[in-house]
Structure 1
Amino acid sequence: MTVTSLATCALLALTTLSSACAPSPYIENPDITTEVDDWRDEVIYQVIVDRFANGDVNNDFNVTHDPTNLNRYMGGDWQGLIDRVDYLQALGVTAIWISPVVMNVEEDAGIAGYHGYWTQSFNDVNPHFGDLAKLRELVDVMHAHGIKVIVDIVTNHVGQLFYYDINQNGQADITTWYATDGSDTLDIVTEWDPGFDGRTIQSWTSLGYAGDAPLGWVDMPELNRRPPSPPEFRSDDWYHKMGRVTDWSDLDQVVYGDFPGGLKDLATENPNVRAGLIRVFQDWITKTNIDGYRIDTVKHIEHDFWSEFCPAIRDHAAVLGKEQFLMFGEVFDGDDTLLGSYTQDDMLDSLVYFSQKYWIYDGVFKRGDPTSKLDELYGMRAVNWGAEPQPGGIGLAPRDIPINFMDNHDVGRFLFDKDSEDALASAIAFLMTQEGVPLLYYGTEQGFAGGNDPANREPLWPSGYDTDGDLFVWTAGLTALRAAHEPLRRGDFTLTWTSPDTGSAPGAHMLAFERSTDTETVLVVLNTSDEHTNSTADAAGAMETSFPSGTTLTVAFPPTLEGQTWTVGGDGALEVSLPPRGVAVLVE
């Protein structure tokens, strides 16, 4: 098949898909409702829509049937989520974070935009997943089952929708090097994705440099690489035009550079750009009655953008009648000071807790680092993260509601480099009982073990949506425990045992904490060692708790220990011994 005929077929197929999934005739916006009392009560489940369930084969254009080709669309859609709501409920999920809903660039260099981070239109839905009516139906069905809906959004960049016309000849044709697999040659075109230049990308002619390179907006409908929508996003001065980040330690590049792959960086300091982004993301609340936003690439935008964007979104939601609209962001970094800087006055309600992922889930639960790292990290959060609720926000200080996670779509899964379901089970136990909101990545409950992108974005359907597997049952048991005991959701958090030691030293690898309200205290004890049985005692004595002497504590979880008891000694002393990777949740 010739290139011309291939492109024609692709265009016809995309046109057919767009027609089949075009938005329904205008219907009224949905009633706006508040679904949340306290976000600490929720268990969030992250879903890549394309990988969860295929409920409607009519939108399966450009879909691969090769389960190993994870760079293509695979067929998941919003109907699939609707069809599998019982699976979510069986797991104990109370909120879903779904991948971006907006129209994306179809593909680039053979990789599809299934993930949703290559925006082409900010105000149209991605027809691979359904139409606007289907998205509204998804929200309605989830709400009817007590499940809130959080949508992933991108404010930092758009997809590869223009090139830099460096030689001013009206086409992207400058190549720098070639890659070959032995049969076909791939041209790498620098005008699509040139390296960073703080002046803005420069053009040149035969006479030398000729000033700023013009932007070449393209119209490739077969790839949905067209000028962006709404039309105001087609303004050249809405972009930084400085090219691709080449040095991630250079703050100017991090904030002003294009993401590798030619994702064009928006000039978010421009008041018109800010107003445009505010309008489109206010509108999605109006159109769909969603309950929150997870916001991508937060650290790649100047801080004062968030001080304007977040209040505008909150105010709009409140005017509609939507209280408790949650906004949490991705600051893909282990620097807790940097994370906390985005939770100050009028900014984000919370963040995906990356510093904890690196320090605790990777360090303590995977590598066997000392549990005393929790004291250090949580001391940092108390200082670094916002200490007061955001005005008009969710009513909780950011430092009191971290979004806790162990893995996601941007990092290898827990089991990828820690081949131990016992270790994963103990990490899930911590996730479901610690302070904040647990965020579980889809497939964790099925023991998925994919490495870095795209291996960590597996389709869920080969699992058969099994609800009887050990990890699923374990996770569901913990979500039920969390729902049954208010302290595990809203209680104060107090570390009662950590150790600076590792190996077989007394008390090493043990971790214990209390979650308490005025009416109940729950004690959680974990052994994070792969090898050693240990207890909450060392040469200095046993763990001190808040329980009165003589209190009998009974195991509420796991089921294998249910009914086992410990009695608190003098001054609240308690020694709990657990085998490697053991867990005990104790209640009066």
Structure 2
Amino acid sequence: MPTFKHLVTWTFLAAQTVVPAFAATAEEWSKRSIYQIITDRFALPPGADPTQCNPGEHTWCGGTWNSIRLNLDYIQSAGFTAIWISPINQNYIGPKTPYGDPYHGYWIQDNSQLNARFGTADDLKALSKELHARKMFLMVDIVVNNVMATSTTPDYSKYMFKDKSMYHPYCPIHWGIPESEQNCWFGDQKVPLPDVDTTNPTVVSTYHTWIRQLVQEYGIDGLRIDAAKHVNKDFWPGFVEAAGVFCIGEVYGGMEVDTIAQWQGPNALPSVLNYPLYAALKEAFVIPGNRNTTALAEVLTQEQEKFVDTTVLGNFMENHDVPRWHNLSVDPQSMYNAMAFMFMTDGIPIVYAGQEQYFSGNSDPWNREPLWPSGYAKTPAYELIARLNLVRNYLIHSTDWVTRPTDVLTVSENGIGVMKGPVVSILTNIGSPPRNGSSLAVQSPYQSSTALVDVMNCRQFVVGSDGWLDVEYTKGGVATILLPRDLLSGGPICPPSPNSQNVKGGQKQASSGMKTVVLGEWALGLLTLLTGIMMW
């Protein structure tokens, strides 16, 4: 199956001691899709025991930077063009705490050192070098807000900042009070997280030097910043400039666009994780659920009004801090439709390792499952992601699609129709069971008789009168993504076939004689989607 690496060629020159990064600007990151990895849980070194990893034990399972490097084919074959790995810096070293060991990487002890649990400096450089040879980007998670301790009176000499004056005095956070959220300590009395004073000039200058050197030495192309909203906002512009690469901050929240949008811009961060969209996707697609597609449409509109740049927001449906989608929803088609929406709208799609394997863990630690028991199977969800990546990468490199805003065409209790550039996406929340008589009518700007193709299964459409497209769900609630046939000419998606048949897309006529055209391995791979519910 052709992937991004077949669509574009670049050149790369690697040094032996310092691994060059691509000139990874926000614009270039907007054209990427990201696979998120907890290093300890993605892949084991050769010869390790694959049966000894119980997420409930909150401890090390053995993944390394080398084991990621050795399994990049699995990620790239799904069409991803970047990975995001968990923090690489030294974590707490000591007896197991009441909350386990720091396998996740977020319990920072000394940011000036690497985490020896995951490998050596050469191992990390080798991973970066291999990614760049594959024309892929490396995003690294970092923790700036705090370090980790086992008491509220820690030994500061073991940290990068060794003086007590470089930390805020201990106080528990009073949630909902911004000053408290930024100056008081995460954690609790058992595992407190001393809060670094990022208004201290020495702290600021030291952080600038540290991040500049880290990025340059390991060829890092982008940073994901943990707990970004718990640091004073005016710290970030200088830090981003020092880093010299794209930064995306974690600003945890719900559908409140205002409270999260304030963290993107020249006086804050280049981008943030798209928590409003995540909350809206759950509201619209989870089964059983509210089926509230109106909320999803409203979030899209508000984000375009209030964010500086929606093309670089980090879109996601799962991560290590929230329950797996399969834990929330009983129907695989709910995930397939929400995922198609996430890929086909504004922003950078991010898939958390294990979503493609239908993992179903709830909150921490159960949503941090090891990937290797899956056998890295090419599941229907994996094939769907590969298809979405193929379509998205093709659009990025053949049109101005990525910069075009998403417009809402229609909203109904059965789903939502949107258009971004030349692409009409019709997504439904009815689930897998066939629904005779259930349909979603969408009025597009295309002229009557325009030839379109559903790139999810290469089914042919002809636009009806006044631009109407009417998708019926006699075979279940499958996502429909329509592109003009002329746009696909000569490309790797749905090449023409002498047996192709058009399906009239006019309102009340779309399902009449509707047939799927099987086109070699493309359609064959996608037909496996129909078996997804069996794996769910």
TM over 0.5, yes or no? yes
- 1:361–1:566 Cα change, 3 Å: farther
| From 163, 172, 183, the counterpart of 1:256 | 183
Q: Secondary structure at the match of 2:158?
A: coil
1:268 aligns with 2:198: yes
Percent identity, aligned pairs only, is: 28
Aligned positions of 1:221-236 closer than 5 A:
227-229=158-160, 233-236=161-164
Residue 390 of structure 1 corresponds to: none
| From 484, 501, 511, the counterpart of 2:416 | 511
Q: Cα distance, 1:498 vs. partner?
A: 3.2
Which letter does structure 2 place at the counterpart of 1:493? P
Residue 574 of structure 1 corresponds to: 469
- 1:110–1:303 Cα change, 3 Å: closer
Residue 493 of structure 1 corresponds to: 405
1:289 aligns with 2:219: yes
Tell whether the 8 Å contact from 1:50 to 1:73 is kept in structure 2 after alignment: yes
Residue 322 of structure 1 corresponds to: none
For structure 1, the residue ranges without an aligned partner over 5 or more in a row are 1-26, 162-191, 194-214, 219-225, 315-324, 387-397, 500-506, 538-542
| From 306, 310, 324, the counterpart of 2:240 | 310
Q: Secondary structure at the match of 1:536?
A: strand
1:56-76 deviation per Cα after TM superposition (whole angstroms, max 9, x unaligned): 679x9xx99243544001000
1:88 aligns with 2:9: no
| From 366, 372, 385, the counterpart of 2:294 | 372
Residue 38 of structure 1 corresponds to: 28
| From 55, 72, 77, the counterpart of 2:45 | 55
- 1:302–1:451 Cα change, 3 Å: same
Q: Secondary structure at the match of 2:193?
A: coil
Normalised by the size of structure 2, how large is the TM-score?
0.80
Tell whether the 8 Å contact from 1:55 to 1:78 is kept in structure 2 after alignment: no
Greater CA drift, 344-353 or 367-376: 367-376
- 1:401–1:32 Cα change, 3 Å: closer
**Partners of 1:158 and 1:363 in 2: CA distance:** 38
1:420 aligns with 2:331: yes
Tell whether the 8 Å contact from 1:340 to 1:385 is kept in structure 2 after alignment: yes
Q: Secondary structure at the match of 1:55?
A: coil
- 1:216–1:49 Cα change, 3 Å: closer
Q: Cα distance, 1:48 vs. partner?
A: 0.2
Residue 114 of structure 2 corresponds to: 125
**Partners of 2:57 and 2:343 in 1: CA distance:** 30
1:448 aligns with 2:359: yes
1:181-235 deviation per Cα after TM superposition (whole angstroms, max 9, x unaligned): xxxxxxxxxxx25xxxxxxxxxxxxxxxxxxxxx4417xxxxxxx6113xxx011
Tell whether the 8 Å contact from 2:283 to 2:293 is kept in structure 1 after alignment: no
1:360 aligns with 2:272: no
Q: Cα distance, 1:32 vs. partner?
A: 4.5
Which letter does structure 2 place at the counterpart of 1:151? V
Residue 264 of structure 2 corresponds to: 343
Tell whether the 8 Å contact from 1:104 to 1:118 is kept in structure 2 after alignment: yes
**Partners of 1:489 and 1:265 in 2: CA distance:** 42
**Partners of 2:395 and 2:346 in 1: CA distance:** 13
**Partners of 1:369 and 1:327 in 2: CA distance:** 33
- 1:240–1:333 Cα change, 3 Å: same
1:156 aligns with 2:145: yes
Residue 28 of structure 1 corresponds to: 17
Normalised by the size of structure 1, how large is the TM-score?
0.73
Tell whether the 8 Å contact from 1:274 to 1:305 is kept in structure 2 after alignment: yes
**Partners of 1:293 and 1:493 in 2: CA distance:** 25
**Partners of 1:401 and 1:49 in 2: CA distance:** 24
For structure 2, the residue ranges without an aligned partner over 5 or more in a row are 1-15, 485-536
Residue 301 of structure 1 corresponds to: 231
Q: What is the aligned residue count?
A: 456
1:105-132 deviation per Cα after TM superposition (whole angstroms, max 9, x unaligned): 0342361111111111112111111010
Which letter does structure 2 place at the counterpart of 1:412? P
**Partners of 2:413 and 2:284 in 1: CA distance:** 14
Q: Cα distance, 1:496 vs. partner?
A: 4.0
**Partners of 1:494 and 1:444 in 2: CA distance:** 25
1:3-53 deviation per Cα after TM superposition (whole angstroms, max 9, x unaligned): xxxxxxxxxxxxxxxxxxxxxxxx732344436772222110100000001
**Partners of 1:256 and 1:421 in 2: CA distance:** 42
Tell whether the 8 Å contact from 2:284 to 2:296 is kept in structure 1 after alignment: no
4+ residue runs over 6 A deviation: none
Q: Secondary structure at the match of 1:575?
A: strand
- 1:312–1:295 Cα change, 3 Å: same
Q: Cα distance, 1:567 vs. partner?
A: 2.3
Q: Secondary structure at the match of 2:125?
A: helix
Q: Secondary structure at the match of 2:74?
A: helix
Residue 135 of structure 1 corresponds to: 124
In angstroms, what is the RMSD of aligned CA positions?
A: 2.4
1:449-479 deviation per Cα after TM superposition (whole angstroms, max 9, x unaligned): 1100000000000001112x22111221221
| From 416, 426, 429, the counterpart of 1:525 | 426
Which letter does structure 1 place at the counterpart of 2:89? V
Tell whether the 8 Å contact from 2:345 to 2:406 is kept in structure 1 after alignment: no
- 1:567–1:110 Cα change, 3 Å: closer
Larger CA Rg, structure 1 vs 2? 1
**Partners of 2:199 and 2:46 in 1: CA distance:** 41
Tell whether the 8 Å contact from 2:228 to 2:249 is kept in structure 1 after alignment: yes
Which letter does structure 1 place at the counterpart of 2:320? H
Which letter does structure 2 place at the counterpart of 1:281? I
- 1:57–1:298 Cα change, 3 Å: farther
- 1:35–1:587 Cα change, 3 Å: same
Q: Cα distance, 1:510 vs. partner?
A: 2.2
Which letter does structure 1 place at the counterpart of 2:445? S
Q: Secondary structure at the match of 1:269?
A: coil
Residue 459 of structure 2 corresponds to: 563
Which letter does structure 2 place at the counterpart of 1:574? L
Q: Cα distance, 1:536 vs. partner?
A: 3.3
Tell whether the 8 Å contact from 1:64 to 1:73 is kept in structure 2 after alignment: no
**Partners of 1:362 and 1:48 in 2: CA distance:** 27
Residue 248 of structure 2 corresponds to: 328
**Partners of 1:277 and 1:362 in 2: CA distance:** 39
Residue 487 of structure 2 corresponds to: none
Q: Secondary structure at the match of 1:581?
A: coil
- 1:47–1:157 Cα change, 3 Å: same
- 1:70–1:491 Cα change, 3 Å: farther
Q: Secondary structure at the match of 1:534?
A: strand
Q: Cα distance, 1:312 vs. partner?
A: 2.7
**Partners of 1:32 and 1:431 in 2: CA distance:** 27
**Partners of 2:167 and 2:408 in 1: CA distance:** 51
Aligned positions of 1:174-189 closer than 5 A:
none
Which letter does structure 1 place at the counterpart of 2:410? T
Tell whether the 8 Å contact from 1:372 to 1:498 is kept in structure 2 after alignment: no
**Partners of 1:108 and 1:136 in 2: CA distance:** 31
Aligned positions of 1:197-236 closer than 5 A:
215-217=153-155, 227-229=158-160, 233-236=161-164
Tell whether the 8 Å contact from 1:370 to 1:508 is kept in structure 2 after alignment: yes
Which letter does structure 2 place at the counterpart of 1:482? R
Aligned positions of 1:474-489 closer than 5 A:
474-486=384-396
1:276-325 deviation per Cα after TM superposition (whole angstroms, max 9, x unaligned): 222211111121111000000011111111133222323xxxxxxxxxx2
**Partners of 2:177 and 2:318 in 1: CA distance:** 26
- 1:263–1:489 Cα change, 3 Å: farther
Which letter does structure 2 place at the counterpart of 1:114? Y
Q: Cα distance, 1:346 vs. partner?
A: 4.1
Aligned positions of 1:431-446 closer than 5 A:
431-446=342-357
